[in-house]
Structures are given as structure tokens and as C-alpha cells.
């Protein structure tokens, strides 16, 4: 865990009221600047900055993120209409926090990304 990472700070405080889901691998919180009615961040507990840092079993984390996203979509009532799952990787992609995380976005018609 990084001492200066906001996501690692949330991991260190398991009583945090902002966490809407937690297991041994990931946790989920609401994005503070939502782009849609439902905008959750699904974040690995382990501090990983980039996909390229993953080795061994770490490579299973993105699949776990996808499974948790599906569960959270069911809980939020958006699984039938659809949602977007996005990982911004690096500065040019818009990653602002250097801790791997996925955005689960839905609850409205999101339109084409093209």
C-alpha cells in the first residue's frame, strides 16, 4: 500500500462509510464526480499502479473486477439495460489516481464512445 494514495487510505480504514462493496481482492466506492446516475469505482485492495505491473495471480484481478461490476450492476438495478466498465491507463487516458481502478458507469443511455 502506498502511504500517499487516497485509495490505499480507504483500504486502511475498513470502517469507511464510503465503501459500498468490499471483499479480499477489491472494494467499490461512488465516484466523487459521477458521469452518470450510477458511477462506481472498483478498486483492487492491493496497490497496483498499472496493468503492466501485474504478475502471477495479479492477472486475475481484472476478471474479478468485471465480476464485481456485474454484481454491483444487479444491486443498482442497471444490469438489464447495460453499463460501461472502463479502465483509464496512464495520463493520456485520463488516469488521475495512480492506483489501478475501473469505472462502472450506467443508469442512463451513455451513447457511442466513438
| 51-78 exposure pattern, b = at least 16 Cβ within 10 A, e = fewer | eeebeeeeeebbeebeebbeebbeebeb
Of the candidates 78, 91, 89, 85, the residue with the CA atom closest to the CA atom of residue 103? 85
Helix, strand, coil share (%) of the chain residues, nearest 5: 30, 20, 50
Q: Does the active-site annotation cover 47?
A: no
Q: Which of 64, 81, 99, 101 is catalytic?
A: 101
CB count in 10 Å sphere of residue 10: 19
Positions annotated as catalytic residues are 101
Amino acid at each position: 500500500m502506498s502511504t500517499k494514495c487516497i485509495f490505499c487510505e480507504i483500504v486502511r480504514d475498513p470502517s469507511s462509510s464510503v465503501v459500498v462493496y468490499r471483499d479480499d481482492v477489491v472494494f467499490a466506492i461512488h465516484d466523487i464526480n459521477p458521469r452518470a446516475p450510477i458511477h462506481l469505482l472498483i478498486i483492487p485492495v492491493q496497490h497496483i499502479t498499472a496493468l503492466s505491473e501485474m504478475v502471477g495471480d495479479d492477472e486475475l484481478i481484472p476478471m474479478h473486477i468485471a465480476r464485481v461490476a456485474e454484481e454491483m450492476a444487479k444491486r443498482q438495478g442497471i444490469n438489464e439495460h447495460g453499463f460501461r466498465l472502463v479502465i483509464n491507463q496512464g495520463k493520456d487516458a485520463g488516469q488521475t489516481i495512480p492506483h489501478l481502478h475501473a469505472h462502472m458507469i450506467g443508469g442512463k443511455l451513455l451513447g457511442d464512445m466513438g
